[in-house]
Amino acid sequence: MALDIEYALVRLDLEAHKRRADAELRVAAIAFESQEAMVVTDANANILRVNGAFTKTTGYAQDEVLGQNPRLLQSGRHSRQFFAQMWEQINSTGRWQGEVWDKRKSGEIYPKWLGISTVYSPNGEISHYVGSFTDISERKEAAAAISRLAYYDSLTELPNRQLMMDRLKQALLSSARSGAYGALLFLDLDRFKTINDTLGHVEGDKLLQEAAQRLRECVREEDTVARFGGDEFVVLLENLEGPRERAAVLAKGIGDKLLEALAQPYRLRNKEYSCSASIGVVLWRGGPTADVHELLKRSDMAMYEAKKAGRNSVRFFDPIMQTTIENRARLEARLRQGLELGQFQLHFQRQVGLHGELLGAEALLRWNDPERGMVPPAEFIPLAEESDLIVAIGRWVLETACRRLQIWSLSAVTRDLTLAVNISPKQFGQEWFVSDVADIIERTGANPTRLQLEITEGMLLRNVEDAISKMGQLRKFGVSFALDDFGTGYSSLAYLQRLPINVLKLDQSFVRDLGVDERSEAIARTVIQMGQSLGLDVLAEGVETQEQRRLLEERGCRKFQGYLYGHPIPIERFCEEFGLQTIA
């Protein structure tokens, strides 16, 4: 009887354990089939089981992923370093969680919150990994929608006042580190209220949306266009190049571009309406005294000055800067007019050989303005360089020089003279530069072997391969090249030996200090030796004294240019001095 009782108790205990185990299994099964997607892998990360939520989220059924590695879900958005850091944490702590972008079976990429836990066997070895995740697409979309409501204008989808203020603060901090200038442009649409009141708010909203789109298209991707409310917009420009005056020129150029875009007619109710703008500009640079509210106030004040000036205009807060910009605009207009009315001239400065024999000349641009007389090149050439005018002016210089070469080719006295022409970076950078030069040579009948184009190191380094290609094509026509201002920029034998050049021009800054500065003497000697070793002619420019000439000759230089041999002079005087009146 005792044995029977003991047996019965054991049976009861086993059944109780079994019921508890069954209950735990049912609970585990219910938990596994929860709303959260789950995946179980072995120690080698091969998938053993997934739940229904996994299939619903990813689109993969269990039989499609069994034995697969979870890598089949990767979207490609995360780097190897991301996953390396993830597994480093899993191996050290046994768990990891974070946001991951994955890919569904359909190819759709979506965000999810993923947690990974390590399962250990009784002996402490890894037996399984359990991953659980939740699709957070809707949560992120909701957060983005809230953010847009908080930081973006609902009508134009531009940043609003709050976001603009935040970006301006960040821009000031960045500028304080870099020292770069920026500009704030405050825009107000002229007579918008009249259109809005006459046509109604629906049409007024359409105009504002179109204006916002035009503003976005006129600025760089890194710039910010914001709507401050009503018909007021603000444009934030960052990282403007160069010193303050240069930054002002760039800001004025963008302001003019905005004016032109906004002044185009708006199509409302099948009719065209005009709505220009007034723009106030304030330049800024980050520092301890920079204040975003003060900058906005100043740009607003400048905008009202633009209104007073007759609308559809740009005004700077700084009166001195405004005067500088206005003077520049007037000079640019006169420069454009000078090209149209034939006010430009070429002056010629002789280039001579070792014994003073005439080898040719450099053609130098001069502007004879009817009001101001001869305008110094240093005053108008940088302005032409900053605008597109230099391309048209450069073409005129090249054609005029080639016509002179054609005339010189008619006489045995001058047919072997070389004429050097400076080429601007913008002109050289045009994709049609080679064909343009070839066309000018053909039309003028100039001898291309007598034409020498002078280029600088800086313009070559912008795109060495393109420069080599263009120079090579023109060399086939017979055109030669001189590398101007050699030694002042980024001189390097690495590219010098690849460039199809004929002449190195030793910069006058080194020539001027010969006999005075040992470093200048060393550079001059090195350039001359370098030219000789590469089979190039070396021409020293800026030679003003016999002592400079003697020192250059002792170091092996055989070609010279400078005031010692003559100033740049008009073609008539140039021909007279060499007895060439008959072909002037």
- Assign residue 135 a region (left: φ > 0; alpha: ψ between -120 and 50; beta: otherwise): beta
Answer yes or no: is pLDDT of 6 > 70: no
Q: What is the DSSP letter of 152?
A: B
Where residue 103 sits, what CATH number does that domain have?
Answer: 3.30.450.20
pLDDT digits (tens, 9 = 90+) for 567-580: 999 988 888 877 65
Structure tokens, 521:
């003497």
Where residue 245 sits, what CATH number does that domain have?
Answer: 3.30.70.270
Residue among 187, 195, 253, 241 nearest 215 (CA): 187
133 with 246, same domain: the answer is no
Q: Going by C-beta distance under 8 Å and a sequence separation of 6 or more, which residues neighbour residue 211? A: 189, 231, 233, 262, 266, 275
487 with 576, same domain: the answer is yes
Q: What is the DSSP letter of 159?
A: B
136 with 158, same domain: the answer is no
Q: HSE on the CB side for 116, CA within 13 Å?
A: 22
Structure tokens, 334:
């006169």
| H, E, C per residue of 313-358 | CEEECCHHHHHHHHHHHHHHHHHHHHHHCCCEEEEEEEEECCCCCE
Range(s) of the domain holding residue 216: 153-317
What Rg, from alpha-carbon coordinates, does the chain have? 38
469 with 527, same domain: the answer is yes
435 with 464, same domain: the answer is yes
What is the distance between the alpha carbons of residues 198 and 298, in angstroms, rounded to a whole number? 32
For β-strands 126-135 and 109-120, DSSP reports them as antiparallel
Q: What is the DSSP letter of 29?
A: H
Number of domains in the chain: 3
Please name the residue that has the structure tokens 């360089």.
385
Confidence of residue 28 (pLDDT cuts 50, 70, 90): very low
pLDDT digits (tens, 9 = 90+) for 252-308: 999 999 999 999 999 999 899 989 999 999 999 887 777 889 899 899 989 988 888
Answer yes or no: is pLDDT of 413 > 90: no
Domain's final residue, options 140, 162, 195? 140
175 with 287, same domain: the answer is yes
Q: Are 115 and 89 in contact (CB under 8 A)?
A: no
pLDDT at residue number 227: 94
Q: Are 207 and 192 in contact (CB under 8 A)?
A: yes
Domain's final residue, options 289, 317, 345? 317
Structure tokens, 136:
């957070």
123 with 186, same domain: the answer is no
Assigned domain for 58 exists? yes
pLDDT at residue number 487: 60
Distance of CA 336 to CAs 111, 251, 353, 390, 440, Å? 57, 21, 38, 10, 22
pLDDT at residue number 2: 47
Q: Are 280 and 185 in contact (CB under 8 A)?
A: yes
Answer yes or no: is pLDDT of 24 > 50: no
Higher pLDDT, 378 or 142: 378
What is the distance between the alpha carbons of residues 557 and 14, in angstroms, rounded to a whole number? 110
296 with 400, same domain: the answer is no
Residue among 315, 249, 305 nearest 281 (CA): 315
Assigned domain for 243 exists? yes
Give the rounded distance of the alpha carbon of 501 from its chain centre: 30
Q: Is 413 helix (H, G, I), strand (E, B) or coil?
A: coil
Assigned domain for 41 exists? yes
Q: Going by C-beta distance under 8 Å and a sequence separation of 6 or more, which residues neighbour residue 103? A: 73, 74, 75, 76, 109, 110
Strand partners, 165: none
What is the distance between the alpha carbons of residues 282 and 304, in angstroms, rounded to a whole number? 13
396 with 469, same domain: the answer is yes
pLDDT digits (tens, 9 = 90+) for 457-498: 777 767 788 888 999 999 999 999 999 877 665 555 666 777
Distance of CA 296 to CAs 68, 323, 495, Å? 59, 21, 49
Find the angle CA(378)-CA(384)-CA(389) to the nearest 5 degrees: 155
pLDDT at residue number 279: 95
Mean pLDDT of 226-253: 90
Helices of type H across 240-318: 244-262, 292-308
Assigned domain for 18 exists? no
What is the side-by-side order of every strand in the sheet holding 109-120? 47-50, 37-42, 126-135, 109-120, 95-103
Residue among 178, 185, 180, 169 nearest 290 (CA): 169
Where residue 466 sits, what CATH number does that domain have?
Answer: 3.20.20.450
Assigned domain for 20 exists? no
Domain's final residue, options 140, 165, 197? 140
Question: What pTM was computed for the model?
Answer: 0.57
What is the distance between the alpha carbons of residues 543 and 560, in angstroms, rounded to a whole number? 7
Q: Which H helix or E strand runs over 539?
A: strand 537-541
pLDDT at residue number 581: 46
Assigned domain for 290 exists? yes
57 with 113, same domain: the answer is yes
Q: Going by C-beta distance under 8 Å and a sequence separation of 6 or more, which residues neighbour residue 58? A: 37, 73, 102, 104, 105
Confidence of residue 309 (pLDDT cuts 50, 70, 90): confident
Q: Which H helix or E strand runs over 64?
A: helix 62-65
For β-strands 271-273 and 266-268, DSSP reports them as antiparallel
Assigned domain for 26 exists? no
287 with 428, same domain: the answer is no
Distance of CA 74 to CAs 91, 134, 286, 479, Å? 20, 15, 43, 58
418 with 530, same domain: the answer is yes
Assigned domain for 504 exists? yes
Answer yes or no: is pLDDT of 540 > 70: yes
Distance of CA 439 to CAs 93, 307, 402, 435, 474, Å? 74, 48, 11, 6, 12
Residue type, 45: A
Residue among 468, 388, 404 nearest 441 (CA): 404
Task: State the chain's mean pLDDT as an integer.
Answer: 86
Q: What is the DSSP letter of 288?
A: T
What is the distance between the alpha carbons of residues 530 and 532, in angstroms, rounded to a whole number? 5
